[in-house]
């Protein structure tokens, strides 16, 4: 083939895309200029301009993340590597502008390939010849098929490895940033499956590398590997629809589901990559369905010969993404139980070319390794690793998806929780009974706080350190969180009571006054409301349907209200006494046709000391409606008496 034309050096000059010949040579010429400048580190401005002109010869319109620099770099480097290995036709055999005009040529294919240069029919680049969108989208497949072929003369050999795997390239820099900020691509079933397999395989390789060489690694390097593995698992979890999993369980269910799904797929033949729908195939099928039926539908793809589905999310924050369906996630344990005794997929199947498939590497034994080791993913990063590794092999055998040492740890943790609970009641709750308020209330508040902290610490320890999994973790985690919710509600109620008693203990509020009674009532109402909110919110996070419970409370509350009508009347009467304040504790008064001194105004009734020194209890509903004559509030005492005088008494006398 003739030497590529030299790229135009003007800063604003676009590539020549007037014909297939011009486009092909413009791409090769600009790529050679960009690669030479990058390797020699000279004239960086011209290197960047040549790179941009090469990008402008490709149609990225159907490529996921087409505007990302990393995606553009990877695609043009792949295309350059492919062209450097192909026997391109002679210069005069490629249609030029004259031939295009005469024969009205709209597309040209490089002989013996699927690489097409087509004329754009509309849009900003209308009339230009570009490497087709379909070609650009499938460059990774074409590159995999040809990368072992020898280079031709004048090739820029090895540039793919230099750019893609280099540490100081724009591609590697953006890829690292995107890896941290953006989840795996879920724009189509193919992208979702590819991203899932790649993420788990890379995490497995990272963990196995630490396992084989941890003795020569520093603690910092092990922790860095742990962080990398967790990032990769977060990307894999992002391909699962976990909306039906309770929020509190999503992290653990996500990790376990990823491992189960990978174990299942590793035992199944992978479908050829071209058979897995990509973004273009999905769009075409959706358009065809809408045209034929006039209705849109939720697109789904099923992994061949299984019930594992990747579906398009039709609502919510992940609308438009393709994820492994919620039904698939819910049934993964059943699928795994059916296939766990089946051998792993051979590395090469007869009649199958590895280049035609998604990443086929396997993570053999990853699930069993995970459920039988401490910590999350990288056991060497955990402080228990050395202790567990020194245990006899009998402690490492699985019993009901947990090892013996995990069962022992669970038993010890439950024993400690019960011991702490018993101790706190014996040495705090019971002795507090003899104390005066508010000290009594504050001491008793310590009991639910201690129990709550203890349960939280051991639930987290069993989850993240002992690494319980499966149904055992569900029971322990769900039960522990439920107890924490109940104890938290108890602590909130006790805290409100303690606050009220602290306020009442001030000299300004007599302990038996109606103000004190209302404070106690208010603290209990507020504490009960806060406790109810904690229980409702906590139950929702655990996936408990709270509507039947709330409906039951509503019906029960109505029945209680009807049965306790007089009690509520007395409470309202106490509120009337609070706001009107006709009498207070210590006042001598006339109520009805009787006299007495008020000793206590409660929530339900008022106690009065009569002239005969007896205690009379009057319901507040009745007391608030009586005519109350408060002698304590008079400003002057009426002195009314009869003076007996003799008739001879003089005025002066």
Mean pLDDT of the chain: 86
Rounded CA separation 6/54 (Å): 12
Summarised one tens digit per residue, pLDDT across range 447-479 is 999 999 999 999 999 998 998 988 898 899 889
Summarised one tens digit per residue, pLDDT across range 264-317 is 999 988 888 888 898 888 888 888 877 777 777 788 999 988 999 999 998 888
Rounded CA separation 210/216 (Å): 9
Place of tokens 């300004």: 508
CB 577 within 8 A of CB 620: yes
Summarised one tens digit per residue, pLDDT across range 66-104 is 667 778 888 999 999 999 999 999 988 999 999 999 999
What is the helix (H) or strand (E) element at residue 239, kind and residue range?
none
Q: Residues with Cβ < 8 Å from 131, sequence gap 6 or more?
A: 23, 27, 57, 58, 59, 79, 115, 116, 117
Rounded CA separation 472/20 (Å): 64
3-state secondary structure of 535: helix
Residue 1: which pLDDT band, with cuts at 50, 70 and 90?
very low
Which one is predicted more confidently, 459 or 178? 459
3-state secondary structure of 499: helix
Summarised one tens digit per residue, pLDDT across range 346-384 is 865 544 555 566 667 889 999 999 988 888 788 888 888
CB 263 within 8 A of CB 366: yes
Output the pLDDT for position 8.
Answer: 54
Rounded CA separation 328/313 (Å): 14
Percent of the chain at pLDDT exceeding 70 = 89
DSSP class of residue 564?
T
Q: How many CB atoms lie within 10 A of CB 401?
A: 17
Q: Residues with Cβ < 8 Å from 580, sequence gap 6 or more?
A: 624
Domain ranges of the chain: 20-178, 183-371, 402-563, 583-633
pLDDT at 413 > cutoff 70: yes
Summarised one tens digit per residue, pLDDT across range 572-603 is 888 888 788 898 888 999 998 899 999 988 87
Rounded CA separation 306/309 (Å): 8
β-sheet bridge partners, residue 600: 607
β-sheet bridge partners, residue 323: 311
Rounded CA separation 650/626 (Å): 49
Quick one: residue 15, left, alpha or beta (phi over 0 = left, psi -120 to 50 = alpha)?
Answer: beta
**Domain 583-633 adopts which CATH fold?**
SH3 type barrels. (2.30.30)
Q: Residues with Cβ < 8 Å from 282, sequence gap 6 or more?
A: 188, 189, 299, 312, 322
With residues binned 3-state (H G I as helix, E B as strand, rest as coil), the percentages for the chain, rounded to 5, are: 55, 10, 35
Place of tokens 């008496």: 641
Output the pLDDT for position 350.
Answer: 45
3-state secondary structure of 596: strand
Output the pLDDT for position 123.
Answer: 84
Rounded CA separation 29/15 (Å): 10
């Amino acid at each position: 083939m003739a030497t590529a034309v030299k790229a135009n050096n003007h800063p604003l000059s676009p590539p020549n895309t007037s014909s297939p010949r011009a486009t092909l040579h413009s791409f090769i010429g600009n790529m050679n200029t960009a690669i030479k400048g990058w390797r020699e580190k000279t004239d960086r401005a011209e290197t960047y301009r040549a790179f941009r002109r090469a990008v402008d010869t490709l149609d990225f319109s159907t490529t996921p993340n087409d505007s990302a620099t990393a995606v553009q770099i990877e695609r043009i480097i792949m295309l350059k590597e492919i062209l450097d290995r192909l026997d391109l036709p002679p210069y005069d055999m490629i249609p030029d502008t004259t031939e295009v005009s005469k024969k009205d040529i709209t597309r040209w294919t490089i002989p013996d390939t699927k690489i097409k240069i087509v004329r754009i029919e509309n849009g900003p680049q209308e009339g230009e010849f570009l490497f087709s969108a379909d070609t650009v989208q499938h460059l990774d497949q074409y590159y995999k098929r040809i990368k072992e072929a020898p280079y031709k003369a004048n090739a820029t050999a090895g540039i793919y490895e230099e750019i893609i795997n280099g540490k100081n390239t724009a591609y590697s820099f953006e890829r690292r940033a995107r890896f941290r900020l953006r989840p795996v691509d879920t724009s189509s079933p193919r992208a979702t499956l590819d991203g899932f397999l790649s993420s788990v395989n890379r995490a497995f390789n990272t963990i196995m590398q630490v396992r084989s060489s941890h003795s020569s690694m520093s603690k910092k390097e092990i922790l860095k590997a742990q962080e990398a593995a967790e990032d990769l698992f977060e990307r894999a979890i992002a391909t699962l629809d976990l909306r039906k999993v309770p929020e509190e369980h999503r992290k653990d269910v996500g990790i376990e589901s990823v491992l189960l799904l990978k174990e299942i797929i590793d035992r199944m033949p992978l479908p050829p990559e071209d058979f897995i729908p990509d973004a273009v195939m999905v769009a075409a099928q959706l358009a065809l369905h809408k045209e034929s039926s006039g209705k849109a539908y939720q697109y789904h793809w099923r992994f061949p010969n299984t019930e594992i589905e990747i579906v398009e999310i039709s609502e919510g924050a992940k609308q438009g993404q393709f994820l492994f369906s919620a039904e698939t996630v819910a049934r993964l344990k059943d699928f795994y139980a059916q296939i766990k005794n089946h051998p792993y997929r051979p590395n090469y199947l007869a009649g199958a070319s590895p280049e035609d498939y998604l990443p086929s590497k396997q993570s053999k034994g990853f699930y069993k390794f995970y459920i039988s080791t401490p910590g999350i993913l990288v056991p060497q990063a955990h402080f228990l690793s050395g202790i567990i590794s020194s245990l006899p092999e009998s402690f490492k055998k699985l019993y009901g998806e947990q090892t013996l040492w995990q069962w022992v740890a669970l038993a010890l943790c439950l024993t400690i929780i019960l011991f702490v609970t018993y101790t706190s009641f014996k040495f705090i709750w019971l002795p507090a009974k003899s104390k005066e308020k508010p000290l009594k209330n504050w001491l008793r508040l310590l009991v639910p706080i201690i129990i709550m902290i203890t349960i939280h610490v051991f639930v987290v320890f069993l989850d993240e350190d002992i690494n319980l999994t499966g149904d055992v973790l569900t029971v322990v985690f769900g039960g522990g969180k439920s107890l924490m919710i109940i104890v938290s509600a108890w602590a909130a109620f006790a805290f409100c009571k303690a606050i009220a008693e602290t306020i009442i203990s001030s000299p300004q509020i007599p302990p038996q006054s109606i103000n004190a009674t209302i404070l106690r009532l208010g603290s209990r109402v507020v504490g009960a409301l806060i406790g109810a909110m904690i229980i409702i919110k906590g139950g929702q996070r655990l996936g408990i349907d709270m509507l039947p419970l709330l409906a039951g409370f509503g019906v029960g509350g109505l029945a209680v209200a009807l049965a306790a009508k007089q009690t509520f009347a007395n409470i309202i009467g106490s509120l009337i006494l609070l706001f009107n304040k006709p009498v207070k504790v210590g006042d001598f008064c006339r109520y009805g046709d009787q006299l007495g001194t008020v000793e206590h105004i409660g929530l339900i009734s008022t106690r009065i000391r009569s002239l005969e020194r007896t205690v009379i209890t009057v319901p507040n509903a009745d007391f608030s409606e009586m005519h109350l004559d408060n002698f304590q509030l008079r400003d002057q005492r009426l002195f009314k008496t009869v003076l007996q005088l003799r008739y001879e008494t003089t005025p002066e006398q």
